[in-house]
Amino acid sequence: MSSRIEVAVLKPDDANFNRLQVQARTAYAPEASWMAHLVQACAMPWPDGQTRSGHQAYRLPTPAEAVERAFAIVDGMLAEFERRSWSAPIPSVEDLRIKGEPVGFVAKEKHQG
């Protein structure tokens, strides 16, 4: 995997003081932070039968199982946001530039229920 962070030393007007600037090379959708938290939660031990003494047995899910469950949760959450009109599409930058006029969006009326 190639480096995804770019580091540069900036020389401001004051030559005696150099600042370090770190620039991320990858941008993530807001859902990515939800995924990171959910993957951690979904990676906790899962119930897995009983021990010989009758206590609950547990197993760690595989990384693929934890990620699959987290994606299922986020997909369901985003679908529910849309169903409840808690989300609205935003025009692309290209659409905003093409039209050359103020462009916005109006959220749907709040879902009752």
Contacts 24+ apart (CB under 8 A), 27-36: 31/74, 31/78, 34/74, 34/77, 35/70, 35/71, 35/74
Query: Which pLDDT band holds residue 1 (cuts at 50, 70, 90)?
Result: very low
pLDDT digit string, tens, across residues 59-91: 999 999 999 999 999 999 989 988 988 888 777
Amino acid at 93: V
pLDDT at 26: 72
pLDDT for position 31: 85
Assigned domain for 109 exists? no
pLDDT band at 20 (very low <50, low <70, confident <90, very high): low
Mean pLDDT in residue range 85-105: 70
Domain assignment of residue 42, yes or no: yes
The number of domains in the chain is 1
Q: Is residue 23 part of a domain?
A: yes
* CA dist., res. 103 & res. 88, Å (int): 14
Residue 21 lies in a domain: yes
Full residue range of the structural domain in which residue 34 is found? 5-99
